[in-house]
Amino acid sequence: MADWDDVRRIATALPDVIEGTTYGAMAWKIGGKLMAWERPLRGRDLTELGLDEQTEPVLGTAVEDEPTKLALIDEDADVFFTTEHFTGYAAILVRLERIAVPRLDELIDAAWFARAPVRLRREREGA
């Protein structure tokens, strides 16, 4: 299963991705837009999810749109989830230790395409 080293390796292998932080957590951006990030669960998230504490790492990634997010949750709710904070926002939360590395690779690649500038998407598609 995946870990933060896998996220870093996959994300930074994509064109023009910058690694940094957002709100003190690890983050990866393309064209100044957040595409993947460490997402510690906040008190409100924990309450909503019926948890006393966060027991595993959570990754947030951009997705193409809200229907894509909902389809991922339907595909595997053990791995993919969301909270009220992300309602109407094209992003999915991932229980990092539960996702297989090849699936993580697909997810981060899709996040890159969801946030990359048109010029970079066209260059990559043409390569």
pLDDT, one tens digit per residue, over 14-54 is 999 999 999 899 999 999 999 999 999 999 999 999 999 89
* Beta strands 91-95 and 17-22, pairing class: unpaired
Say if pTM beats, i.e. exceeds, 0.75: yes
DSSP secondary structure of 95-112: EGGGS-HHHHHHHHHHHH
In the predicted model, what is the mean pLDDT of the chain? 94
Which CATH fold topology does 4-122 show?
Aspartate Aminotransferase, domain 1 (3.90.1150)
Q: Give CA separation, 20 vs 24, 29, 101, 105, in Å.
A: 9, 8, 22, 19
Q: Per 3-state DSSP, what percentage of the chain is helix, strand, and coil (rounded to 5)? A: 45, 25, 30
